Chains A and B, each alone.
Chain A
Amino acid sequence: MRTPPGVWQRFLHHPGARFGFITLSIIVIAVLLAPLSPYDPNSSNLKERFQPPSLQHPMGTDSLGRDLFTRVLYGGRVSLSVGILVVVITLFIGVTIGAAAGFFGGSIDNILMRITDAFLTLPALLVLILISAILREVEFPLLARNSVITISLVIGLFSWMTFARLIRASILSLRETEFIIAARSIGASDLRIIIREILPNMVGIIVVEATLELGWAIIEESGLSFLGFGIQPPTASWGNLLSNAQENFVKYPWLAIFPGLMIFLTIISVNYIGDGLRDAFDPYKILHKRS
């Protein structure tokens, strides 16, 4: 799929986006390099309990003497994986439902949109907590107890609605534009019109929405894990590291500061990238802003 010319340049011109892009790149690279750490994320060393941050342990150690920096890096792998998986899942459900509703219209549209409305009126976090509480007790062969995939599925199942609405709305508005009518008049098929004409015009909004969704999913996973309903220890995630910190953080503040700081930096970077992408895909908005 083609992107409009100059998107990348405009993106890098946005100071926030540049900051976000660099910060997120550093986090992603660090997280990928986690196995280089000399410490094991899960094996305890009781002689080294609650060490404050030092050169050996840049973020200190936890109640079992595990190196927090290593655990934060491994936790990042989990948190980022959940984020990316949720984006893939919500994209899949959202685009399917939105495209079907927008393209077929009529009663299909009506039914699909009422379902979307129903999902939007759910108190999402409460439902996520309920489902995770149920799943916590269950051993499914494929969905191991609150694994990355299970948590991503649960979150994704309840956050595709914005995508569906967005895709439907833009298909509805594109359907009546002149270039689609032109394509239709030279005899292009429905499928060809969707793939060749409509989808390339939606790349912008899909990419922007996917970025924001990524941030949202990471917060949601951290929140669930913080409450104890997400990823279960000893597997680290940024949320359950914070949850673990709760008992001791008044005495050993680094336990709470660093995992949260990682969530904060990731979310702010993702949001800045989203903002930059929105401007980059919408040159009119930049012109408008500068005037």
Chain B
Amino acid sequence: MTNYIIRRLLQSVLMLFLLSIIFFALVNLAPGGPLAGYGQSRHARAERVAVLKRQLGLDQPLPMQYLIWLAGNDWMQVDADGDGIKESRGSRLGILRGDFGSSFRTRQSALREITLRLPNSIYLMSITLLVALLIAIPVGIISAVKQYSTFDISATAFSFAGQAIPEFWLGLILILIFYAWLENPFTGEPLLPAGGMYTIGGGFSLWDHISHLILPVTTGALGWIAWYSRFMRSSMLDVIPMDYLRTARAKGLHERVVIRRHALRNALIPLVTLFALDVPYLISGAVFIETIFAWPGMGRLYYQSALQRDYPVLMAILIIGAIFIILSNLLADILYATLDPKIRYE
């Protein structure tokens, strides 16, 4: 197992290296290059752009630029004032040492832009997933245990609908209903806020906080509830005809114990894997939800950066997103082996 983990980690490093080359090529081979989005560059004079290029090291050959992006330039002479003469030592550390460059938009470090918003995204996504799992798992179990009951049939219909509703439409519809149409009977204000994390200037109150969470969480959770409840149902149906459940019943265990202790535990194992494979979809969901509900997270930051072609921030988020995905895949494999002793990795 340890060997397996080490090998997978090495593979992951190689994969990240490959991905970083792909991302770098995408941005730098694009016509106009990364400077096309630099502030007012389209109106800037050609000499000014040339100076900027020298200052940013964009006059170097691409492999060199990649190396600098990766490992920094504090070990070489650079042309800091852009006059064509290399006179001082570089100050970039490279992404390997956590320096993703600075945002074209705010001139702040790209990493800092991200660390400011990442917790907000993780917070929203965790609550969304928690809500989704708390609903989906019981629904899936009941659907499987009472297969073809009215409950099962309605849950199935719901899950087909839930998987077909695009998040970006659901969000708009929920805003229509709970912000535009329904109002709070006491104050006459909209029942729920349409966006943001809290009321600006309103001070902290628990209700204010929760009311800002309800719509984004519902929008995000619906699809996951639909998807996981289906999966939970079929996973339970796979387990229910097993001999060890018959044994448990034969021992005289109560049906509830049989389902909870013996069936559920085994049915949950595939869910763990699925969960890890879903991380990319979680990230894309974050882009839509945070954009619609003005949630100050990483998804919205990515959207805004893409609109203004703020490449350092885009690259940083892509790399961090890929690291998240690779790590969660690895974690799923390890958990899978831990939970299911039949699985052995060579």
A264 at the interface (CB under 8 A from B): yes
Given the known interface contacts A118-B18, A122-B322, A260-B173, the answer about A272 and B160 at a Cβ–Cβ threshold of 8 Å is yes
Q: How far is the CB of B267 from chain A (nearest CB, A)?
A: 18
Q: How far is the CA of A222 from the CA of B169 in the complex (A)?
A: 10
Q: How far is the CA of A215 from the CA of B166 in the complex (A)?
A: 11
Contact: A131 with B26, CB < 8 Å? yes
Q: How far is the CB of A114 from chain B (nearest CB, A)?
A: 8
A178 at the interface (CB under 8 A from B): no
Contact: A124 with B284, CB < 8 Å? yes
Contacts of A69 on B, CB cut-off 8 Å?
none
CB < 8 Å neighbour of A133 from B18, B164, B307: B307
Contact: B283 with A125, CB < 8 Å? yes
CB < 8 Å neighbour of B172 from A124, A245, A275: A245
CB < 8 Å neighbour of B326 from A121, A137, A223, A242: A121
Q: Which of A121, A138, A229, A253 counts the most B-chain CB atoms under 10 A from its CB?
A: A121
Size bracket, chain A contacts:
35 or more
Q: How far is the CA of A264 from the CA of B226 in the complex (A)?
A: 14
Contacts of B161 on A, CB cut-off 8 Å?
264, 268
Q: How far is the CA of A250 from the CA of B30 in the complex (A)?
A: 38
Q: How far is the CB of B42 from chain A (nearest CB, A)?
A: 10
Contact: B160 with A127, CB < 8 Å? no
Contacts of B173 on A, CB cut-off 8 Å?
256-257, 260
A226 at the interface (CB under 8 A from B): yes
Interface residue ranges of A131-155 to B (CB < 8 Å): 131, 133-134, 137-138
Contacts of A223 on B, CB cut-off 8 Å?
166, 168, 284, 288
Closest A residue to B325 using CB positions: A121
CB < 8 Å neighbour of A227 from B18, B31, B303, B314: B303
Contacts of B23 on A, CB cut-off 8 Å?
130
Q: How far is the CA of A211 from the CA of B303 in the complex (A)?
A: 30
Given the known interface contacts A129-B306, A253-B176, A272-B160, the answer about A137 and B19 at a Cβ–Cβ threshold of 8 Å is no
Q: How far is the CA of A219 from the CA of B164 in the complex (A)?
A: 9
Contacts of A246 on B, CB cut-off 8 Å?
172
Contacts of A117 on B, CB cut-off 8 Å?
15
Contact mask for chain A residues 246-265; partner B; CB cutoff 8 A; 1 contact, 0 none: 10011001001100100110
Contact: B164 with A123, CB < 8 Å? no
Contact mask for chain A residues 44-64; partner B; CB cutoff 8 A; 1 contact, 0 none: 000000000000000000000
Contact: A127 with B318, CB < 8 Å? yes
Contacts of B280 on A, CB cut-off 8 Å?
121-125
Contact mask for chain B residues 147-189; partner A; CB cutoff 8 A; 1 contact, 0 none: 0000000000000110111101100110110011000000000
Q: How far is the CA of A249 from the CA of B176 in the complex (A)?
A: 8
Q: How far is the CA of A138 from the CA of B32 in the complex (A)?
A: 9
Contact mask for chain B residues 312-325; partner A; CB cutoff 8 A; 1 contact, 0 none: 00100110011001
A72 at the interface (CB under 8 A from B): no
Given the known interface contacts A250-B179, A253-B176, the answer about A227 and B291 at a Cβ–Cβ threshold of 8 Å is yes
Contacts of B27 on A, CB cut-off 8 Å?
130, 134
Contact mask for chain A residues 199-242; partner B; CB cutoff 8 A; 1 contact, 0 none: 00000000000000001000100110011110000000000001
Closest A residue to B176 using CB positions: A253
Q: How far is the CB of A33 from chain B (nearest CB, A)?
A: 24
Contacts of A133 on B, CB cut-off 8 Å?
306-307, 309, 314
Given the known interface contacts A223-B288, A268-B164, A271-B163, the answer about A228 and B176 at a Cβ–Cβ threshold of 8 Å is no
Q: How far is the CA of A16 from the CA of B322 in the complex (A)?
A: 37
Interface residue ranges of A254-291 to B (CB < 8 Å): 256-257, 260, 263-264, 267-268, 271-272, 275
Contact: A242 with B283, CB < 8 Å? no
A1 at the interface (CB under 8 A from B): no
Contact: B172 with A242, CB < 8 Å? yes
Chain A interface mostly: helix
Q: How far is the CA of A131 from the CA of B280 in the complex (A)?
A: 17
Contacts of A130 on B, CB cut-off 8 Å?
23, 26-27, 306, 314, 318
Given the known interface contacts A123-B321, A124-B284, the answer about A260 and B169 at a Cβ–Cβ threshold of 8 Å is yes
B295 at the interface (CB under 8 A from A): no
Q: How far is the CB of A49 from chain B (nearest CB, A)?
A: 19
Contact: A121 with B19, CB < 8 Å? yes
Interface residue ranges of B282-311 to A (CB < 8 Å): 283-284, 287-288, 291, 302-303, 306-307, 309
Closest B residue to A267 using CB positions: B164
Q: How far is the CB of B50 from chain A (nearest CB, A)?
A: 20
Q: How far is the CA of A256 from the CA of B30 in the complex (A)?
A: 34
Q: How far is the CA of A275 from the CA of B156 in the complex (A)?
A: 12
A126 at the interface (CB under 8 A from B): yes
Q: How far is the CA of A131 from the CA of B26 in the complex (A)?
A: 7
CB < 8 Å neighbour of B321 from A16, A126, A131, A272: A126
Contacts of B135 on A, CB cut-off 8 Å?
none
Contacts of B307 on A, CB cut-off 8 Å?
133, 228
Q: How far is the CA of A117 from the CA of B5 in the complex (A)?
A: 17
B329 at the interface (CB under 8 A from A): yes
Contacts of B303 on A, CB cut-off 8 Å?
129, 227
CB < 8 Å neighbour of A123 from B18, B160, B318: B318
Interface residue ranges of B330-345 to A (CB < 8 Å): none
Contact: B283 with A219, CB < 8 Å? no
Closest A residue to B169 using CB positions: A260
Chain A to chain B: the 4 pairs with minimum beta-carbon distance, closest first: A260-B169, A125-B284, A268-B164, A267-B164
A-B contact list, 20 entries, CB within 8 Å: A117-B15, A121-B19, A121-B325, A123-B318, A123-B322, A123-B325, A124-B280, A125-B280, A127-B318, A137-B32, A222-B166, A223-B166, A242-B168, A249-B175, A250-B180, A256-B176, A260-B172, A260-B173, A263-B169, A271-B164
B interface residue numbers (CB < 8 A to A) = 15, 18-19, 23, 26-27, 30-32, 36, 160-161, 163-166, 168-169, 172-173, 175-176, 179-180, 194, 280, 283-284, 287-288, 291, 302-303, 306-307, 309, 314, 317-318, 321-322, 325-326, 329
